[in-house]
């Protein structure tokens, strides 16, 4: 078990993402109910120390392949949890994320907290938006969604009207949808409930390093069906430096393409 001194160490963003991955696994194999999974995931993204993270997984059966993500004593200076291999490409240098933490985890007043549920691009923010979609419409199936830190724009099929779609503004909760004509009958919807939130947030946190946009002042994520099925595309730009780039990945966090900033 980790030593007391190790568990008192401050948690990193990558530590929180790793524990969320363990919670996902426990939910998938029936150890955690939907409520417990949501509650513990929110707690993990808000945890300040390794001790808080350890308490969230200490009663779970962890598959051998994921035991490297348990809270363990660091093996060298500055090391906390071990990073899940599938996220290593994006979060290998999280210390350099800089300004993106404002967008992905929270910023402005109260930025000392590691996560802010009202930020739609945070893990709790995405989970809350999906929960509200399911509560309001019975599912989280959409034609497409464009998500910013402050709000999201969502399009979904109008029930009983194949040629129409609902244009929904998500800002401090779901707003009354506008019904519009012109929906393409060939549109393939995607289910946001299938989004691996910790994996996607992990990619978002590592995006500045991956794309070479060190201090982004604009970020958004689009979600729709693409060449590989359901996809997320993350766009970062720095207007002051004139740099921008984007990453396209699957709902499970698998990276399909990277378009880094160019000089």
Cα 61 versus chain centre, distance: 24
**Mean pLDDT lowest among 75-79, 160-164, 218-222:** 75-79
Q: Are residues 146 and 247 in the same domain?
A: yes
Q: 3-state class of 79 per DSSP?
A: coil
pLDDT above 90 as % of the chain? 36
Give the residue from 119, 121, 167, 1 showing the smallest Cα distance to 71: 1
Q: How many domains does the chain have?
A: 2
> Are 159 and 255 found together in one domain?
yes
Task: Judge whether 43 lies within some domain.
Answer: yes
For residue 90, tell me if it sits in a domain.
no
From 40, 57, 83, the end of a domain falls on 83
pLDDT digits (tens, 9 = 90+) for 234-244: 999 998 888 99
Q: Are residues 106 and 16 in the same domain?
A: no
Q: For residue 37, give its domain range.
A: 4-83
> Quick one: pLDDT at residue 226?
93
Average pLDDT on 108-136 reads 72
Q: Which pLDDT score is estimated for 199? A: 86
Cα–Cα nearest to 243, from 133, 123, 99: 99
64 and 190 belong to one structural domain: no
56 and 182 in one domain?
no
Question: Is the pLDDT at 223 greater than 60, yes or no?
Answer: yes
pLDDT tops 50 at residue 123:
yes
The SS3 assignment for 74 reads coil
Residues 153 and 236 in one domain: yes
Whether 231 shows a pLDDT value over 80: the answer reads yes
**Are residue 102 and residue 68 in the same domain, yes or no?**
no
Residues 128 and 223 in one domain: yes
Give a yes or no: residue 32 inside a domain.
yes
Question: Max alpha carbon distance in the chain (Å)?
Answer: 61
CA 5 distance to own-chain centroid: 30
Nearest CA-CA partner of 246 in 210, 214, 215: 210
> What pLDDT score was predicted for residue 101?
44
Task: Give the pair of three-digit tokens for residue 88.
Answer: 């290593």
Mean pLDDT: which of 61-65, 94-98, 107-111, 226-230 is highest?
226-230
Q: 189-211: per-residue pLDDT in tens?
A: 999 999 998 889 888 888 888 88
Lowest average pLDDT, out of 80-84, 184-188, 252-256, goes to 80-84
Extended strands (E) in 102-217: 141-142, 144-147, 152-158, 161-170, 178-181, 190-191
Domain match, 197 and 122 both = yes
- Alpha-helix runs per DSSP H in the chain: 4-7, 13-28, 34-46, 50-57, 88-91, 100-104, 123-137, 197-211
- pLDDT tens string 68-111: 667 654 343 333 333 333 333 333 333 233 334 444 444 444 44
Q: Look up the pTM and report it.
A: 0.61
Is residue 63 a contact partner of residue 28, using CB atoms and an 8 Å limit? no
Most confident range, picked from 39-53, 135-149, 200-214? 135-149
230 and 191 Cβ atoms separated by less than 8 Å? yes
Is 185 part of a structural domain of the chain? yes
Q: What is the mean pLDDT of residues 51-55?
A: 85
The pLDDT of 231-236, averaged and rounded, is 95
- Tell me which DSSP letter residue 204 carries: H
137 and 237 fall within a common domain: yes
Question: What average pLDDT does the structure give for the chain?
Answer: 79
Q: Which of 37, 82, 31, 34 is nearest to 59 (CA)?
A: 31
């Amino acid at each position: 078990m980790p030593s007391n001194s190790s568990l008192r160490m401050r948690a990193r963003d990558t530590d929180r993402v790793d524990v969320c991955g363990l919670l996902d696994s426990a939910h998938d194999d029936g150890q955690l109910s939907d409520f417990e999974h949501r509650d513990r995931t929110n707690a993990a993204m808000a945890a300040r120390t390794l001790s808080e993270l350890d308490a969230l997984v200490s009663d779970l059966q962890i598959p051998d392949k994921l035991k490297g993500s348990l809270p363990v004593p660091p093996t060298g200076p500055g090391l906390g949890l071990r990073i899940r291999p599938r996220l290593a490409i994006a979060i290998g240098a999280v210390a350099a994320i800089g300004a993106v933490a404002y967008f992905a985890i929270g910023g402005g007043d109260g930025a000392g907290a590691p996560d802010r549920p009202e930020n739609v691009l945070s893990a709790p923010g995405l989970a809350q938006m999906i929960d509200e979609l399911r509560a309001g419409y019975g599912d989280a199936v959409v034609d497409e969604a464009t998500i910013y830190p402050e709000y999201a724009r969502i399009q979904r099929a109008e029930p009983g009207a194949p040629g129409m779609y609902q244009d929904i503004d998500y800002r401090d909760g779901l707003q009354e949808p506008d019904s519009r004509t012109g929906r393409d009958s060939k549109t393939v919807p995607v289910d946001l409930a299938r989004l691996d939130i910790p994996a996607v947030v992990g990619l978002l946190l590592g995006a500045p390093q991956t794309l070479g946009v060190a201090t982004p002042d604009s970020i958004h994520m689009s979600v729709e069906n693409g060449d590989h099925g359901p996809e997320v595309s993350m766009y970062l730009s720095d207007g002051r430096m004139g740099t921008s780039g984007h990453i396209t990945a699957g709902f499970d966090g698998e990276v399909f393409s990277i378009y880094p900033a160019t000089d």
